[in-house]
């Protein structure tokens, strides 16, 4: 893979040495023909794979550097379907995949150094759609830079979760409408974006359908109170880009988040992304490969009015289930039943407490009334003297 440190916006000819690039294309073509002829994977799709790094810089209220975090990413794009791997350290990484319909995620290892090879069950989840809702900035920002073309191409309302916030847990992720400029006439990836809060979205954010119904706390309400309409919450800007394999991709970009009104205005977080290498590859499936048993939280079937956000099950096979698969439906039904039992228990408890309270009040009333009657009777009894 050729390094891209000398790349410019003028195109591929300045990004790669032409002889080396021609040889790579010939080898890729020969390899793909060989795969099809041998029947190894006639259904594989050609995709562009980009490898790079992210650096997060966070700032305190005095705009002084507070902390930094570095991750690496590998984004594989086939225009509508995609894979994204985020590496935090040895044996600690996330894999997201989207087949154009649903998004799948597996977490390997942990921040405490757990070796993924020895883990019994890996946490995983499934979402409907092409946006990675169960993800943080280290996934959503590279998704925005390299993999959001299918989402942006069909999003006429220009409303999307703010990539710095969790769309499952934070209502402030759902208060922005974006303005954007594409990388080129034929591209649906963003070159520049600004996220501006809107009053109509602020009024509906607490009840956004992507938020967890079972996670409504008081603090998000207080956080929303800090915002006002038409506040610039963040922006995204491509600083370098290139043409590769007939498409335009960013080579260097910056995403920024700003403090809301009510606090000191200013930069809160800045994420810088840099692409180190690019290649053309063939992908057999855009669903992450299952290589060990998973503990799955499946968000495709939900019932917010009954505070059921997902169904959970263990997956030991090699295939991800469809939405209407028995294992998914049964898990959802179990979650519904558990929610109904919990609601029933709460109602029974309240009813029991009411009965006990009323019984105690009635007992006190009877005792008090008896005391009054006895005292009155003794008061009327004639004096024997």
Mean pLDDT, the chain, rounded, equals 80
Q: Which of 60-74, 101-115, 203-217, 273-287 has the highest mean pLDDT?
A: 273-287
pLDDT value at residue 64: 83
Tell me which H or E stretch contains 77: strand 65-77
pLDDT value at residue 105: 98
Tell me which H or E stretch contains 176: strand 176-182
Least confident of 11-20, 163-172, 252-261, 346-355: 11-20
d(CA 176, CA 221): 16
Instruction: Give yes or no for residue 156 having a pLDDT over 50.
Output: yes
pLDDT tens-digit map of 173-221: 999 999 999 999 989 999 999 999 999 999 999 989 999 987 654 456 6
Question: How does residue 317 score in pLDDT terms, banded at 50, 70 and 90?
Answer: confident
Helices marked H in 318-382:
326-380
Burial (Cβ within 10 Å: 0-12, 13-18, ≥19) of residue 104: buried
**12 three-state secondary structure:** helix
pLDDT value at residue 214: 73
d(CA 248, CA 139): 20
Q: Which two tokens stand for residue 238?
A: 């491509």
Kindly state the average pLDDT of the residues 129-148: 96
pLDDT value at residue 26: 35
Question: How does residue 15 score in pLDDT terms, banded at 50, 70 and 90?
Answer: very low
d(CA 111, CA 190): 32
pLDDT value at residue 197: 94
**114 three-state secondary structure:** coil
pLDDT value at residue 193: 98
| Coarse DSSP helix, strand, coil percentages of the chain, rounded to the nearest 5 percent | 30, 35, 35
Contact 242, 274 (CB under 8 A): no
Instruction: Give yes or no for residue 8 having a pLDDT over 50.
Output: no
Contact 142, 73 (CB under 8 A): yes
d(CA 203, CA 245): 44
CA 336-174-257 angle, to 5 degrees, is 135
The residues, ordered by sequence, that sit 6+ positions from 107 with a Cβ below 8 Å of its Cβ are 94, 122, 123, 124
pLDDT tens-digit map of 40-91: 344 789 999 999 999 999 998 777 888 999 999 999 999 789 999 999 988 8
**123 three-state secondary structure:** strand
Q: Which two tokens stand for residue 223?
A: 């956080």
> Within 10 A of 17 (CB to CB), how many other CB atoms are there?
12
Burial 36-68 (b: 16+ CB within 10 A, else e): eeeeeeeeeeebbbbbbebebbebeeeeeeeee
Instruction: Give yes or no for residue 225 having a pLDDT over 70.
Output: yes
**38 three-state secondary structure:** helix
pTM confidence score: 0.77
d(CA 90, CA 127): 27
> Within 10 A of 97 (CB to CB), how many other CB atoms are there?
23
Instruction: Give yes or no for residue 35 having a pLDDT over 90.
Output: no
Contact 77, 269 (CB under 8 A): no
């Amino acid at each position: 893979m050729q390094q891209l440190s000398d790349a410019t916006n003028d195109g591929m000819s300045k990004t790669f040495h032409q002889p080396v690039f021609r040889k790579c294309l010939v080898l890729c073509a020969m390899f793909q023909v060989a795969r099809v002829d041998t029947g190894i994977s006639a259904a594989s799709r050609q995709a562009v794979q980009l490898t790079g790094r992210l650096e997060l810089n966070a700032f305190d209220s005095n705009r002084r550097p507070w902390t930094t975090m570095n991750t690496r990413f590998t984004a594989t794009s086939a225009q509508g379907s995609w894979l994204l791997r985020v590496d935090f350290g040895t044996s600690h990484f996330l894999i997201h995949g989207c087949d154009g319909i649903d998004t799948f995620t597996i977490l390997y290892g942990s921040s405490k150094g757990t070796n993924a090879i020895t883990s019994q069950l890996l946490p995983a989840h499934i979402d409907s759609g092409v946006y990675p809702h169960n993800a943080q900035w280290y996934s959503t920002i590279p998704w925005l830079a390299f993999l959001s073309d299918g989402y942006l191409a069909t999003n006429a309302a220009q409303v999307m979760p703010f990539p710095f916030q969790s769309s499952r847990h934070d209502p402030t992720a759902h208060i922005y409408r974006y303005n954007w400029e594409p990388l080129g006439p034929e591209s649906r990836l963003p070159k520049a974006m600004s996220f501006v809060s809107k009053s109509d979205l602020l009024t509906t954010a607490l009840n956004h359908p992507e938020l967890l119904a079972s996670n409504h706390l008081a603090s998000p309400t207080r956080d929303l109170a800090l915002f006002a309409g038409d506040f610039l919450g963040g922006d995204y800007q491509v600083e370098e880009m290139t043409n590769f394999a007939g498409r335009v991709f960013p080579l260097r970009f910056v995403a920024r988040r700003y403090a809301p009104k009510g606090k000191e205005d200013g930069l809160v977080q800045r994420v810088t992304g840099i692409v180190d290498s690019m290649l053309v590859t063939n992908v057999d499936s855009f669903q992450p490969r299952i290589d060990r048993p998973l503990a799955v939280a499946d968000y495709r079937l939900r019932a917010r009015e009954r505070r059921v956000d997902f169904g959970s099950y263990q997956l030991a096979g090699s295939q991800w289930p469809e939405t209407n698969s028995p294992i998914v439906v049964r898990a959802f039904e179990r979650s519904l039943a558990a929610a109904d039992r919990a609601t029933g228990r709460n109602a029974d408890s309240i009813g029991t407490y009411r009965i006990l309270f009323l019984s105690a009040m009635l007992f006190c009333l009877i005792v008090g009334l008896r005391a009054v009657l006895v005292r009155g009777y003794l008061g009327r009894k004639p004096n024997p003297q």
